[in-house]
């Protein structure tokens, strides 16, 4: 009975977050576009410092948009609405898609996203391209946030010995995760894995991590976190 009650409460909470997220999109768009018009309107009276503040505020709006999208995605994942379109897709194609998505996050802070691919780049994996991109981008953007400016984030791929799956890992050199927080994050697994593993030392928890677990589960995989 307790387990059923907890699941029902989680369903209500995720539905409420999704509805709230939809309501937040319009006013947030108005705020961001107003700042963009001020910045790009050719107003010569703006100082370089004021432009810097506007850029920072617009970046925060972009972060809020990402959180809103994660709220909506969580509800879709929990209700089984998302359609999983798994196909045999080359790792090189997945990498290209991920790099294009990460570029706007990495460039402003001069973060280099490096790849260590210990398998043939043309090896194909059975995956939904959009969902696997979302999974790795979720982990990599968290890693970028905690990486010092001009630092490095590493995306690593390898095949476990004797296995027929590809193990993905996202590694950073952020401040690490406190032991208590790491235990809480590790004990909240929603996907007990098969062969594939995505790993992150992203240093933050929240909707992005919960969604990442769901996305890993859709690929018959577990999400492991280490500091």
**How far is the CA of 163 from the CAs of 28, 194, 213, in angstroms?**
46, 11, 21
- Do β-strands 197-200 and 167-171 pair in parallel, antiparallel, or remain unpaired? parallel
> What is the SS3 assignment for 30-41?
HHHHHHHHHHHC
Render each residue's pLDDT in the chain as its tens digit; 227 residues: 454 555 555 566 666 666 777 778 888 888 888 888 888 876 678 888 888 888 878 877 876 777 777 677 666 666 665 678 899 999 999 999 899 888 888 888 899 999 999 999 899 999 999 889 889 988 998 899 889 999 999 999 999 887 789 999 999 988 888 888 777 776 654 333 333 344 444 334 456 777 788 889 888 999 988 88
List the 167-171 sheet strands across, edge first: 112-117, 152-158, 167-171, 197-200, 222-225
What is d(CA 50, CA 30) in angstroms, rounded to the nearest whole number? 19
In degrees and rounded to multiples of 5, residue 174 shows phi and psi of: -75, -165
């Amino acid at each position: 009975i307790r387990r059923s009650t907890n699941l029902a409460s989680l369903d209500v909470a995720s539905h409420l977050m999704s509805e709230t997220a939809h309501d937040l999109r319009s006013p947030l768009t108005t705020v961001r576009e107003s700042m963009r018009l001020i910045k790009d309107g050719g107003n010569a009276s703006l100082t370089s410092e004021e432009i810097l503040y506007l850029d920072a505020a617009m970046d925060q709006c972009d972060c809020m948009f990402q959180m809103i999208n994660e709220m909506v995605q969580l509800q879709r994942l929990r209700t089984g609405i998302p359609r999983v379109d798994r196909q045999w897709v080359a790792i090189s194609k997945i990498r290209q898609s991920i790099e294009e998505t990460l570029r706007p996050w990495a460039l402003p802070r001069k973060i280099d996203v490096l790849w260590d691919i210990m398998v043939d780049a043309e090896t194909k994996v059975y995956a939904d391209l959009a969902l696997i991109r979302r999974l790795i981008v979720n982990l990599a953007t968290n890693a970028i946030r905690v990486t010092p400016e001009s630092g490095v984030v590493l995306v690593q791929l390898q095949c476990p010995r004797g296995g027929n799956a590809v193990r993905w890992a996202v590694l950073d050199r952020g401040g690490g995760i406190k032991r208590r927080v790491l235990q809480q994050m590790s004990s909240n697994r929603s996907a007990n894995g098969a062969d594939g593993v995505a790993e992150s030392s992203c240093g933050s928890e929240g909707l992005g991590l919960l969604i990442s677990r769901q996305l890993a589960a859709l690929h018959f995989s577990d999400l492991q976190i280490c500091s």
